[in-house]
C-alpha cells in the first residue's frame, strides 16, 4: 500500500512538472514551478540591483504578484542535464 501511495505521489509530481513545462513553452509563467512567495523574493532582489533609471512596473507586494505572472514572458533552455527558465519582465523608466 505504501509503495502505491509513493508511486501515485511521484506520478502526480511528474504530471505537475509536465503541465508547468507546457505552460512555459507557451511563454506563460508556470506558477506550479515558482510559488508566489518565491517570485516575490526574486523580484525584490532584482529591484535592489536595478539602475536608478529603471523601476518595476508594479510594487512587489504580495497582492501584486499576480500582475507579474500575467506580464512575464518565459523562455525555456533545456539541456540533457537541466531545464532553465528565463523570465522576462518589462520595466519602466524612472523619472
| Average pLDDT value for residue range 24-43 | 86
Cell numbers standing for residue 54: 529603471
Sequence-distant (6+) residues with CB within 8 A of 33 are 17, 20, 24, 85
pLDDT of residue 58: 82
Alpha carbon separation from 93 to 53, 66, 75 (Å, rounded): 6, 21, 24
Compute the distance between CA of residue 10 and CA of residue 52 in angstroms, rounded to an integer. 46
Q: Report if pTM > 0.85.
A: no
Compute the distance between CA of residue 75 and CA of residue 78 in angstroms, rounded to an integer. 10
How does the average pLDDT of the chain come out, rounded? 87
Amino acid at each position: 500500500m505504501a509503495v502505491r501511495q509513493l508511486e501515485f505521489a511521484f506520478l502526480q509530481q511528474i504530471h505537475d512538472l509536465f503541465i508547468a513545462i507546457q505552460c512555459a513553452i507557451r511563454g506563460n509563467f508556470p506558477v506550479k514551478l515558482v510559488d508566489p512567495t518565491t517570485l516575490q523574493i526574486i523580484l525584490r532582489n532584482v529591484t535592489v540591483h536595478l539602475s536608478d533609471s529603471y523601476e518595476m512596473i508594479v510594487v512587489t507586494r504580495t497582492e501584486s504578484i499576480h500582475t507579474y505572472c500575467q506580464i512575464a514572458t518565459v523562455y525555456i533552455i533545456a539541456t540533457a542535464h537541466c531545464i532553465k527558465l528565463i523570465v522576462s519582465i518589462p520595466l519602466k523608466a524612472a523619472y
